[in-house]
Every structure is written in C-alpha cells, then in structure tokens.
Amino acid sequence: MRHFDFLSPETRGRLFFREPREFGSDDSRDLLAAALGATLYSPATRPTLAVDIAKNFAHGVVGAVVCLEDAVADDDLPAAELNVVDQLTELARGGSARPLLFVRVRAARQIPMLVDRLGEHAGVLTGFVLPKFTATSGAQFLDAMVAAESASGHRLLAMPVLETPDVIYAEQRIDALLSVRALLDRHRDRILAVRIGATDLSSAFGLRRPRDLTVYDVRMVADAIGDIVNILGRPGPTGYPVTGPVWEYFTGTERLFKPQLRQSPFTEHAANALRDELITRDLDGLIREVHLDRANGLTGKTVIHPMHVATVHALSVVTHEEFADATDVLGTGGSGGAHASSYRNKMNESKPHTAWARRTMVRAHVFGVAHADVSFVDLLGAGLHR
C-alpha cells in the first residue's frame, strides 16, 4: 500500500519532490506506526463494513479500526461480534488490497474468539486496539494476544489506549504510566503504538472540548498528554510512538470564535473556496490540533469521518524545507556544530536536532516530500477533490 496512491502519476509528480514509498503489514513497527496517519474508526455494527473498508482504502485510508467497544451498545454486542467475523471474512475472500486493519475489543476474551472464528482468514487482521488499558487489564489483553498469535501463526500488533481516570488524576498518573511502561516493555515486539483516549480522559471531569478549541486548551488533558509522551514517547529504543487523540466533529454549527485559518495561503493558491469549505466543516480546528499534536511529540490521529483523512495526510507530508533541514542535520554524521539552514531562515544544530531529523525521514518515507513550491493547500486540495 502507499499513501496518495489514489492520485494519478501526473498529479503525484506535480506535488512530490519525493513520492511516498510502498509499505506493508510485514514492515517494521516504527515504519507502520508512522504510516498509520489518520486512523479511521467504524462501529462494528455497520452492515456494509467490508464494502466501506475497501471503499475508504481506495480513497486513502491506510489505517482502519473496527470498534466493538464504546461504539456498540451492550445489547448489540453479540450481533456486532458476528458481524465483524462475517464482514472481515468477506473482505479477506475478496482478495483486494486493504488497509492496516484492527479491531477494538472491549474484553480480552474477544481476541482469541475473533481470531478463532476468522480461522484461515485471520491474516486480514493487523492487530487489536486495547481500550481502558492499565497495568492490570493490559496484562490480560496482551496475554490473550500472545495466545491468539500462537494459535493462528499470524503476527498480531497491539495498540493500547490510555483513557482511565488514573492517567488524568495528577496524584496517580506517574505511577500508573510507569506501571504501564513496565508491562509494555515485556511485550515490546508487539506494541505498534500507544493511543490516547481524550474523550474518556475528559469525561473524568465531566468535560467535552468544544469544536473551536483544541484538546490542548483543556488543561487537564493537555497535562496528561505531556506526561504520556514524557514517559512512553521518548525517542530511541526505550520509547513507543504515541498517536494523536480523536477529532470527533464533522459538521459545522454556529461559531463563537473566528476561523483559525489565515486567508493569505489560500489566496496565493487561488483556493479561497477550499478555505470556506474547511471552515464550514470545522476542519480549521482539526488542522490546528494536528499541528499541535506534532509539536508535542505525537504521530498520526484518530478520526471518525472519512473527510478528516485528507486533512491529516496533507499535514503529514514532509515539506521541502523540513526535508532539507533533516538532510543537513543528518549529513553531519552526529559530529556536532551549528549551521545556517539551506533555506537561510534558521539554525540547524546537529546533536539536538538529530532525533527530530530521523523521525522526519521516517515520515518522508511513508508520506513523501513536497516540492518546494507545493504547500499544504495544494496537497489538501488534491486529496479532497480527487
């Protein structure tokens, strides 16, 4: 699979200095985590789930999650489990290309049960999303994954979700995260990424962020995100990729604050209508939050509507300036020193910027590098109006 593969070769050539490269489910965990991008969640009760997954993949979704947890009412759970097996079996039998595919379970018992029912088609699954993850519940989930993987002979990757009250309550958070880290370290080879359940974390205080604010404006959640990245998201062999929390809005209503998108980038690219469309759909808030995610060390984004995918992926493409900076930094071989950037607008310092440069190059591998004269506006316009 490859990001932006739905665009014509001519369009990709116009947009990309270096085009996104292909990747597959057998690639390294670090590469797959960077490639997840906008991970689209769908309720397990959807009667056309297989068709929807294939359609969304054709439109650029490379990371999909089928949800058996909060998206499904308790009374509907047995039927939802049957639907997941039927729909994923149909998808596997179809033989067509498909995204990295996960099931968000609500109980550890569902992991071996689903793998067993899928039987020879278990390979349709990339892994499982593990909700309400703590050191105690997480051990049960991960033990179930070990058993299911052993029984099926198929590699299964885990994405634990941190969303319990002990992660947001200040007096409990550090101990809880250290305990989770100790558990994850024992299962490092199967942990793809750590996800943040901002909705559940907010609910501990009876909060819900408005559409015109980002999650970083909700101070308790922002503080928790900082500690999660600090303890679990450190660069290098001791850390794990941490993904951005869900953006849960998909249609506009009356606004309290002004739009968060400047007019000039859109005017310069004759794309004022695109700016109006983004504002109408409240995607200006998503754009700002994705920028803040990356500034705070997060990778990718949980989304609940296909229209969000193009926005997240356009912002994930490495700019030509970022690529030039990363190349300059890594070209020193870690010998140190500071040098003016190729764009002559900043100082690149070899040692402190090396970890950033390496992460940027992984993102460049899966999302590509834009031409110097190509902006986010061009990439988003191509993705939304393909």
pLDDT by residue for the chain (386 residues), tens only, comes to 999 999 999 999 999 999 999 999 899 999 999 999 999 999 999 999 999 999 999 999 999 999 999 999 999 999 999 999 999 999 999 987 899 999 999 999 999 999 999 999 999 999 999 999 999 999 999 999 999 999 999 999 999 999 999 999 999 999 999 999 999 999 999 999 999 999 999 999 999 988 888 999 999 999 999 999 999 999 989 999 999 999 988 765 555 555 666 666 666 555 666 665 665 566 788 889 999 999 999 999 999 988 899 999 999 999 999 999 999 999 877 677 888 888 889 999 988 999 999 999 999 999 999 999 998 888 988 877 66
Top-level class of domain 9-317: alpha beta
Dihedral (C-alpha) 329, 334, 337, 342: value to the nearest 10 degrees? -10
Cβ–Cβ < 8 Å for 56, 99: yes
The tens digit of pLDDT for each residue in 160-214 reads 999 999 999 999 999 999 999 999 999 999 999 999 999 999 999 999 988 888 9
User: Would you say 75 is a known binding-site residue?
Assistant: no
The length of the chain, given as a count of residues: 386
Q: How many other C-beta atoms can be found within 10 angstroms of the C-beta atom of residue 48?
A: 11
User: Per the confidence metrics, is the pTM higher than 0.85?
Assistant: yes
What letters, b where the CB count within 10 A reaches 16 and e where it falls short, cover 145-173? beebbeebebebbbbbbbbbebbbeeeeb
The tens digit of pLDDT for each residue in 59-118 reads 999 999 999 999 999 999 999 999 999 999 999 999 878 999 999 999 999 999 999 999
Q: What's the pLDDT score for residue 95? A: 81
Backbone angles phi, psi at 153, to 5 degrees: 70, 20
Sign, CA dihedral 347-328-242-178, equals negative
Tell me the pairing of strands 299-303 and 38-43.
parallel
Q: What's the pLDDT score for residue 275? A: 64
Q: What's the pLDDT score for residue 350? A: 86
**So where are the chain's domains?**
9-317, 318-367
Backbone angles phi, psi at 169, to 5 degrees: -75, 120
What letters, b where the CB count within 10 A reaches 16 and e where it falls short, cover 51-86? ebbbebbeebbbbbbbbbbbbbeeeebeebbebbbe
Cβ–Cβ < 8 Å for 211, 246: no
Closest CA to 263 of 255, 273, 249: 273
Closest CA to 37 of 276, 318, 284, 271: 318
Q: What's the pLDDT score for residue 131? A: 98
